[in-house]
Amino acid sequence: MGLLGVAIGAALALARTRFRANEDSVVEAVNALLPQSQCAQCGYPGCRPYAEAIVGGAALNLCPPGGQDTAAALAELLGRDGTGAPVTEHREVKAFIDEAACIGCALCLEACPVDAIVGANKFMHTVIAARCTGCELCVAPCPVDCIDLMPAQESVWQWPRP
Amino acid sequence: MAPAVAELPLPAVLRHPLATPVGRFRPSAEDGARARLGDVIAERFEAGGGADEKPVEVLRAAASGRIERTPDALLLHPDGGAKRAPPLQAPSLVERTLEAGIVGLGGAGYPTHLKLRQALERNAHALIVNAVECEAGVNADRALLNCHADDVLHGIHAVADALGAPQVTLAVSAPLPAAIDFATQVVDGPYPAGWERALTQRLLGLEAPPDGYPTDVGVLVLNVATVFAIGRAWRHGEPLIQRVVTVGRREFWVRIGHPVAELPLPPGAATVGGPVTGWPADADAAVGKTTRAVTPRPAVAASPCIRCGWCATACPEGLLPQELWHGIAAGRWAQTERLRLADCIECGACDLACPSQLPLLAALRHAKSQRMEAARRDSAANLARTRFEARNARLAARAAADRAKRANRLQAPRDWMRPRAADALRNIPPEPEPDAPPDGPPPR
């Protein structure tokens, strides 16, 4: 009996080191729930940094694009309190550069977290709409205020709930 | 010969909703512009396609008139004029089918030129012309075949010539009048016998792969109305602007865009589509390319599910509609995924079987569109994540390269330096590696 106890204890000790929840995999799971708009509105420079911060103990309710749904999903994943997230209506926007007003300063290129703006110094810039996440980070750096946020796509077909 | 199909008079306005189950149309005509009969007024592109890409579907004006654009529809006010666009010109059948705006008129609305192209790429050896029309109360295909068999045959020949010499089968639900001289195959199985997968299996003994289509086993299945439209487009250069629709109990030629409210139906609620697969018409509903029928809608009072399992027996895909119903009602999406929600073909057999008269089909359609939307958002999020990570890696690599260059420059003593200065330079401790993001939220 004692021998069995020792054996099981050893096995458990081994399992503890062997199969410990990998912190990276937790970060990945958290990251997968975030909306990936990379908007930094949570105060961290992107979704993955926020995911790392969440695993390190940051609050779950800092993500405005994800809103309450994301906070609830995170709370369920981590077993923590996710209340107090901002209520967001789902609104998809895309940045749009008024090319007539653009002076080609390249400041928005550096601000874009997903490389969705094409252009070079003294050349006109444009946004690749299919790559833009609507994070608004390019709006503030623009010195001539030529970037607008437009609704991404008018209604996509949805069958109504019966 | 059956009596000719009557043509409905032109309504005061033709209405084309921009959001459709297959995607969103982009108007190509300006507000207030004049369109001739047959002009392209809207186009549909693949999701995420750029501005320079070719459309996958075009919509052509069914009358000459004035265009009005609203946020979610394109309206055409016919002016009674007779101005026509020139006939279609494209030299190949695939191109001509796209030019004519032909899509699968059986109900799926899949662009026919894409289906033709796939059949050509796979060297399809068989062509099934589907006139089985298994949904009770819908006779549009049958009326078309009875009254316009010659143009259907032109279409069959056009497609058959393009494919080489395929084995052609004309599948019908009941024998045709003797006047039509074409070998047919009568298919009178249980609903949904006209489903292209079931038809391929039954007529040719070939089974399409679970996640594929009959074209994957070399069989091209086209609805008879689609074939008719191909015949008109190929022989006469005519675009698809009208179709035969069962309105109530009779068949009419109806212009694409005809408002449902102006169809000759008894007052009351209407169903767009057949009595089984249709959906309730709202005030703005209009006849679309895939609308085979518009029927009066009987009032039903649904009762709770009693888990009798009749729907599971009726489902041709072998799904469990009752379990899906409960999963959808509770929002358990993982469960609906396990129950193979994506495999539902929206035939409505479960609706017919349900003794509680639950709107099972409507619930399944709703859940499927939610699922598509979630998939779209997931793929967008994945793309953004990949690009964000690639950008971070690039910036980090560039910063590391800059640091290395600076360190090299500092540590390499120059020839002209005095020995003591050079020694001092060698003893400078290397620049510390910058840490990964500091603790706490950095300033925005």
pLDDT of residue B1: 47
The pLDDT tens digits for B111-133 are 999 999 999 999 999 999 999 88
Average pLDDT, chain B: 88
The pLDDT tens digits for B10-46 are 999 999 998 888 888 889 988 999 999 999 999 988 7
- Check A131 against B387: CB less than 8 A apart: yes
Is B78 part of any domain? Answer: no
Instruction: Kindly state the percentage of chain B with pLDDT values over 70.
Output: 91
Is B13 part of any domain? Answer: no
Provide the residue range defining the domain that includes B138.
Answer: 94-238
pLDDT of residue A155: 55
The pLDDT tens digits for A31-47 are 999 989 888 888 898 89
Strands B65-70 and B73-78: antiparallel
Q: Does residue B85 register a pLDDT over 60?
A: yes
Is B161 part of any domain? Answer: yes
Residue B437 CA to its chain's centroid (Å): 47
- Check A131 against B384: CB less than 8 A apart: yes
Count of CB atoms within 10 A of residue B181's CB?
8
Question: What is the rounded CA–CA span in Å between residue A71 and residue A89?
Answer: 14
- Check B437 against A44: CB less than 8 A apart: yes
Spell out which chain A residues touch chain B, with contact meaning CB-CB distance below 8 angstroms: 31, 35-38, 40, 42-49, 53, 113-116, 130-131, 133, 153-162
Residue spans of the domains in chain A: they are 20-90, 91-154
Is B176 part of any domain? Answer: yes
Mean predicted confidence (pLDDT) in B316-334: 92
Question: What is the rounded CA–CA span in Å between residue A35 and residue A146?
Answer: 26
Question: What is the rounded CA–CA span in Å between residue B156 and residue B153?
Answer: 5
pTM of the model as a whole: 0.78
pLDDT of residue B387: 93
All residues of chain A having their beta carbon less than 8 Å from the beta carbon of residue B368 are: 159
For A20-90, CATH number out of 3.40.190.10, 3.30.420.40, 3.30.70.1150, 1.10.15.40 equals 1.10.15.40
CATH topology of domain A91-154: Alpha-Beta Plaits (3.30.70)
Is B206 part of any domain? Answer: yes
- Check A157 against B392: CB less than 8 A apart: no
Q: Are residues B198 and B333 in the same domain?
A: no
Mean predicted confidence (pLDDT) in B303-320: 93
Question: What is the rounded CA–CA span in Å between residue B360 and residue B341?
Answer: 12
Work out the pLDDT band at B444, boundaries 50, 70, 90: very low
Instruction: Kindly state the percentage of chain B with pLDDT values over 90.
Output: 55
ipTM of the complex: 0.82
- Contact in structure between B119 and B93 (CB atoms under 8 Å): no
CATH of the domain at B98: 3.40.50.11540
Min Cα separation B232/chain A (Å)? 31
Q: Are residues B210 and B108 in the same domain?
A: yes
- Check B442 against A156: CB less than 8 A apart: no
User: What separation in angstroms does the CA of B174 have from each of A46, B143, B204, B205, B275?
Assistant: 63, 12, 19, 21, 20
User: Of B58-62, B187-191, B249-253, B341-345, where does mean pLDDT reach its minimum?
Assistant: B187-191
Q: Does residue B66 register a pLDDT over 70?
A: yes
Last residue of a domain, one of B216, B238, B260: B238
Question: What is the rounded CA–CA span in Å between residue A98 and residue B327?
Answer: 47
Number of structural domains chain B divides into: 2
Q: Does residue B438 register a pLDDT over 70?
A: no
The pLDDT tens digits for A14-70 are 887 777 667 788 899 999 999 898 888 888 988 999 999 999 888 888 888 888 888
Say which residue the tokens 């994070």 belong to.
A135
pLDDT of residue B260: 93
Question: What is the rounded CA–CA span in Å between residue A75 and residue A31?
Answer: 13
* pLDDT, greater one: B183 or B301: B301
The pLDDT tens digits for B150-168 are 899 999 999 999 999 889 9
Q: Does residue B363 register a pLDDT over 90?
A: yes
User: Of A85-94, A97-106, B215-224, B390-399, where does mean pLDDT reach its minimum?
Assistant: A85-94
